[in-house]
A and B are shown apart, each in its own frame.
Chain A
């Protein structure tokens, strides 16, 4: 098949989402990326793989979001010197992903990978844990951790180093601020502290075994990951999922969105000294978590989405109770929204704080809810309305100011919309089975899972080693792109506003560090 948008030959991949695969020579990579960029395609993810057990070399993979769907590009690289022309100048978001691919696999841009990213002290340069000849259990002596932070110099400039252990209950990461007085001149992030070898662990697992791990790449997005994983596994095994299971998954995904938005709205109040907001929203969140536990057996809905369908059915009575509980939460949130909006102190801190303007957001690839708050009107549920979204016609929440207030506002709107979607889904729940067994796969078959989680787009790219075992699985969190914009959003703001700005993005460390 010919992809008109880019003028290249592609092979459509089976699966729930429109996905196309194509191979490319390294020499053609930059021209293709430039053409894609010019047509408004965004870079979803970049990763590498070791194909030497198949008698090949290494491979670089790119996932680009086009209007027609997702393009999965594979660039074969020689065993001797696996290098390719880097694309960070075209897609700035690729820089950290290229560095991570070098740390884990030893494939690098022709101009060099630059500073390490996911590699700290646990293994030395020249050792590549994702290569097939590296045993997962090996303990390599590290070489110490030396990272060259960019130094800002000048009269009155000083540095504040924060983390990896932060002052609250937060995931670990390091932030290096260069400041004059209270004003932030530069922020440099250092992530990778939570790297625990998730990708290596997937290799050799069966599709059934991998589901639990996929649901724990980033615990707050367990439904999004579990669904993306299931979608990839079903695509690779050509398994058709019952309609009822798709509707149940959509209900779970929207409940996850509601729970996370409630928690964030509470913390955003807390961070501007409105502890009233924290207590109110966390009361509502707890109500929802208990409802979740009653419906699914798990407060955060872990392991509720499984390959082939959903783990639990929703009886009519349970559906009614869910709608009643959600309706009450929705009414209270509406009251709280007007309290937030009329609270001069809170609005004073929210408005024009941590701003990311649409042009910068577009250039750097900001996505998900933070993207929608900065004028990037993209939402997989709307852009590719496959079942069950098609008949629901989700309404996208957008804003253009790109500040904390905009991210608060998008959360409020999405929360109300999610409640509407759950109502529609429960009312029109198709009859039938909720789970089918996965069909057998085949060596070399691949599949993509691509889901609009509460934070942004979650991607899972899967390549099978045989009927059931995983050859390579790459999970991609929307935080990869969005972390870059946290560095930019704080510029010119004061240091005490950093926690507020950071919270307004609420990015995942675990999903990024893998």
Chain B
């Protein structure tokens, strides 16, 4: 126990106001918190669905919860049920085997709802494209508010996309 406490104290708080010494993220964080405060009553709940990714985008979504990005501190949390969600985060091209599950998840989210498509595959179909087994980009299946390219997009780019979706809603 002593060692554990010592490690916590030695580590300190590593959450970054601005990774890569970049002002953009700090401003992004402030705007995110403000927008969420205003429009979603202090918190935004996200339901993620992997509709057929290579699992690369999932790695960056996990990284968002790491102490450097600390997404929960901004009032954003990932929820287990679509019934509790405000925003649907979709990764991957939509495989035809996941098409129905994705639609059902979308339908289960209460209105008003937002959809953010993650990565090159979610935005365009990426290297997998459209085929007998793939519907291609998420917009071919659901109405998408914001699509963020990248293979995979960085955690900061994903945060930016969430903010863009929220601001688009406001206007």
Interface residues of A (CB under 8 A from B): 120-123, 129, 134, 136-140, 142, 164-165, 167-172, 192-198, 200-201, 212-213, 216-220, 222, 263, 276, 279-280, 282-283, 285-286, 289, 299-300, 302, 335-336, 338-339, 342-343, 508-510, 513
Q: Does B62 contact A216, Cβ atoms closer than 8 Å?
A: no
Interface residues of B (CB under 8 A from A): 3-4, 7-8, 11, 14, 48-63, 65-68, 78, 80-82, 92-93, 95-98, 100-101, 105, 126-134, 151-152, 154
Instruction: Give bound CA distance, A286 to B134, whole Å.
Output: 32
Q: Nearest B residue to A343 by beta-carbon distance?
A: B4
* Interface CB pairs A-B, < 8 A, 6: A121-B96, A121-B97, A193-B95, A213-B128, A282-B65, A283-B68
A286 contacts across to B, CB distance below 8 A? 63, 66-68
B4 contacts across to A, CB distance below 8 A? 276, 339, 343
Given contacts A219-B53, A219-B54, contact A200 B154 (CB under 8 A): no
Q: Nearest B residue to A509 by beta-carbon distance?
A: B55
Instruction: Give bound CA distance, A286 to B62, whole Å.
Output: 11
Q: Which of B67, B80, B95, B131 contacts A201 (CB 8 A)?
A: B131
Instruction: Give bound CA distance, A285 to B67, whole Å.
Output: 11
B132 CB to nearest A CB, Å: 5
Instruction: Give bound CA distance, A280 to B98, whole Å.
Output: 34
Not counting A121-B97, A196-B92, A217-B54, a sample of 5 additional A-B residue pairs whose C-beta atoms are within 8 angstroms of each other reads A193-B95, A279-B66, A282-B62, A302-B56, A339-B4
Q: Nearest B residue to A140 by beta-carbon distance?
A: B132
B50 contacts across to A, CB distance below 8 A? 169-172, 194
A279 contacts across to B, CB distance below 8 A? 66-67
Q: Nearest A residue to B8 by beta-carbon distance?
A: A276
A217 contacts across to B, CB distance below 8 A? 54
A130 CB to nearest B CB, Å: 10
Q: Which of A219, A283, A509 contacts B14 (CB 8 A)?
A: A283
Q: Does B127 contact A213, Cβ atoms closer than 8 Å?
A: yes
A139 contacts across to B, CB distance below 8 A? 132
B8 contacts across to A, CB distance below 8 A? 276
Number of A-B contacts (CB under 8 A): 160
Q: Which of A195, A263, A300, A335 contacts B152 (CB 8 A)?
A: A300
B82 contacts across to A, CB distance below 8 A? 165
Q: Which of B11, B78, B98 contacts A193 (CB 8 A)?
A: B98
Instruction: Give bound CA distance, A220 to B60, whole Å.
Output: 11
Q: Nearest A residue to B120 by beta-carbon distance?
A: A216
Q: Which of A122, A200, A289 contacts B96 (CB 8 A)?
A: A122
From B67, B96, B129, residue with most partner A Cβ within 10 Å? B96
Given contacts A193-B95, A335-B7, contact A169 B78 (CB under 8 A): yes
Q: Does B101 contact A172, Cβ atoms closer than 8 Å?
A: yes
A241 CB to nearest B CB, Å: 24
B93 CB to nearest A CB, Å: 6
B131 contacts across to A, CB distance below 8 A? 136-137, 196-197, 200-201
Q: Does B132 contact A510, Cβ atoms closer than 8 Å?
A: no
Q: Does A339 contact B97, Cβ atoms closer than 8 Å?
A: no
Instruction: Give bound CA distance, A283 to B7, whole Å.
Output: 13
Instruction: Give bound CA distance, A129 to B3, whole Å.
Output: 57
Q: Does A169 contact B61, Cβ atoms closer than 8 Å?
A: yes
A19 CB to nearest B CB, Å: 27
Given contacts A196-B134, A510-B53, contact A282 B97 (CB under 8 A): no
Q: Does A283 contact B11, Cβ atoms closer than 8 Å?
A: yes
Q: Nearest A residue to B119 by beta-carbon distance?
A: A219
B128 contacts across to A, CB distance below 8 A? 196-198, 201, 213, 216
Q: Does A171 contact B66, Cβ atoms closer than 8 Å?
A: no
Given contacts A129-B133, A218-B54, A282-B66, contact A172 B98 (CB under 8 A): yes
A263 CB to nearest B CB, Å: 7
Given contacts A138-B132, A169-B61, A170-B58, contact A194 B127 (CB under 8 A): no
Q: Does A120 contact B53, Cβ atoms closer than 8 Å?
A: no
A213 contacts across to B, CB distance below 8 A? 127-128
Q: Which of A197, A280, A299, A508 contacts B55 (CB 8 A)?
A: A508
B81 contacts across to A, CB distance below 8 A? 167
A137 contacts across to B, CB distance below 8 A? 130-132
A128 CB to nearest B CB, Å: 11
Instruction: Give bound CA distance, A439 to B138, whole Å.
Output: 39
B49 CB to nearest A CB, Å: 6
Q: Does B56 contact A219, Cβ atoms closer than 8 Å?
A: yes
B30 CB to nearest A CB, Å: 22
A283 contacts across to B, CB distance below 8 A? 11, 14, 66-68
Q: Does B105 contact A193, Cβ atoms closer than 8 Å?
A: no
Q: Does A197 contact B54, Cβ atoms closer than 8 Å?
A: no
Q: Does A197 contact B78, Cβ atoms closer than 8 Å?
A: no
